[in-house]
Chains A and B, each alone.
Chain A
Amino acid sequence: MQAVATKLIDVTENNADKIARQWYADVRKNPKTPSYHDLSADRAIPQAVDFYTKFRGVFSAKSPFDEARRVYAKYADDCYEKGIPLQEAIYAMTLMRRHIWLYAEFQALFVSAVEQQQAVESLNRTILLFDYATYVITERYQELMKGEIDRQLGALRALGMEESFTGSKVGIMACLLAACGFLTYYYHAVMASGVIFTHLFYIPIVLAGVWWRKKGIYVSVLLGLILISSHLIILKGVPLTDDLIRAIMFIVVSAVVALLAEGFTKIEILYKTVPRSGATQEA
C-alpha cells in the first residue's frame, strides 16, 4: 500500500495548485456550496492548496486521528472565519477529496489489477481520514459557535459585573447616589443652575437597570425625587418644568435599560437551555 499511497500523495502534492483550481471551479457552481459562489479565488484556492499539501502528513501519520484533529480543526477555524455554514464546509472538503481521485484517475494512476487492489486500500485510508475530518470539523464548529455566543454574552456579563463585583454593587450605588445628591446641592445652592450635571445621573441609572433589572427603576425614581425636592427647596421661583422632564426621562431610560437587560438575560438562559446546540449530554 505504501508505494501506491506514495504515488497518490506525490501526485496530489505536486499538482496541489492544479487540483485546487479544479476544486474551486466545482464549488463555485455547485448548488450545495452556495457560500463559495461569491468567494474570491484568492481566498478559496489557498485553503484547498493547504489541504492538499498537508495530505501526506495526515495520510502517513501513525496516529491519524490526532493529526486529523490538528489539521482539520484549523480548516474548521478558517471556514468559520469566512462565514461558511458547517454543511458547506464539510461538503467543500468532500469535493476536495473527490478531486484528488478525479485527478488520479485522469493521470491513470491505477491501471493494473494490483494497482486496482492497492487503490481500494488507498481509498479506504483516505475515507478513514475523511471520517475523522468530518467528526473534528463538526465538533469544532459547535465549539466555535458556542464560543462566539459566550463572548457576546460575556460583554453583557462584564457590564453587569456578575462575576467580579457581586458583593459591592450596593456600595458602589450608594457612593454614586451620594455623589448625585452632592452635585444636586452644589449646582442648585452654590451655582444656582440646573444644567449639565444631571447627565451624570445616567451612570447610576444605567448601572441599576443592568444590575437589578426592573428593581433598578427605584434608583431613577429616587434620583428624580432628589432633583425635584432640591429644586422646590432651593430654587424657589424658578419654573419646575425642566427638572420635571429630566426626572421623567430618568424613569424612561431606566425602564428601557431594565427591559433590555432582562431580555439579554432571557436570551442567555434560552441559549444555555437549548440542549442539542452542541453540548454533549446524557441520553
Chain B
Amino acid sequence: MQGYATKLIEITEQGADRIALQWLKDVRANPKTPAYHNFSDEKALSHAVAFYKNFRALFCTDKPFEAARKFFTKYADERYSEGIPLHEAIYALILMRRHIWLYAEFQAVFVTAVEHHQAAESLTRTILMFDYATYVITGRYEELMKREMEERIRLDSKAGSFSQKLIHGGHAK
C-alpha cells in the first residue's frame, strides 16, 4: 500500500494548485455550498491548497486520529471565523476529497488489476481520514458555537445588565 499511497500523495502534492482550482470551480457552482459562491478566490483556494499540501502528513501518520484532530480543528476554526455553515464546511471538504480522486483518475493512476486493489486500500484509508475529519469538525463547531454564545452573554453581563445576572444566578462574570 505504501508504494501506491506515495504515488497518490505525490500526485496530490504536485497537482495541489491545479486540483484546488478544479475544486474552486466546483464549490462556486455547487448548490450545496452557497456560502462559497461569493467567497474570494484567494481565500477559498488557500483552504484547498492547505489541505492538499498536508495530505501526506494526514495520510502517512501512525496516529491518524490525532493528526486529523490537529489539522481539522484548525480547519473548523478558520471556516467558523469565516462564517461558513457547518454542513457547507463539511461538504466543501468532501469535494476536496472527490477532486483528489477525479484528478488521479484523469492522470490514469489506476490501470492494472493490482493498482485497482491498491486503489481500494488507498480509498479506504482516505475515507477513514474523512470519517475522523467529519467527527472533529462537527465537534469543534459545536464547541465554538457554545463558546461564542457564552462569550456574548458574558460581555452582556459585564455591560451591567442586572437581568442577565438574575437569570444566570449571579454567576456571570
Interface class of chain A by DSSP? helix
Cβ–Cβ contact B162 & A279, under 8 A: no
> A204-263: which have CB < 8 Å to B?
256, 259-260, 262-263
Number of A residues near B (Cβ < 8 Å) is: 42
CB-CB < 8 A to B94: which residues of A? 131, 134-135
Known contacts: A86-B142, A260-B163. The answer to whether A135 contacts B36 by CB under 8 A is: no
What's the Cα separation between A274 and B134 when bound, in Å?
22
Cβ–Cβ contact A280 & B135, under 8 A: no
Number of B residues near A (Cβ < 8 Å) is: 45
CB-CB < 8 A to A271: which residues of B? 149
In the complex, whether B164 has a CB less than 8 A from a CB of chain A is yes
What's the Cα separation between A90 and B87 when bound, in Å?
12
In the complex, whether B139 has a CB less than 8 A from a CB of chain A is yes
Interface class of chain B by DSSP? helix
Residue from A131, A259, A276, A278 whose CB has the most chain B CB atoms within 10 Å: A276
Known contacts: A94-B131, A139-B87, A274-B145. The answer to whether A86 contacts B138 by CB under 8 A is: yes
Q: Which stretch of A12-20, A41-49, A113-121, A162-170 is in the interface?
A: A113-121
14 example contacts (A-B, Cβ-Cβ < 8 A) are as follows A90-B135, A94-B135, A120-B116, A120-B120, A131-B94, A135-B32, A259-B162, A266-B156, A274-B148, A276-B80, A277-B149, A278-B85, A280-B88, A283-B36
CB-CB < 8 A to A175: which residues of B? none
In the complex, whether A87 has a CB less than 8 A from a CB of chain B is yes
Cβ–Cβ contact A123 & B167, under 8 A: no
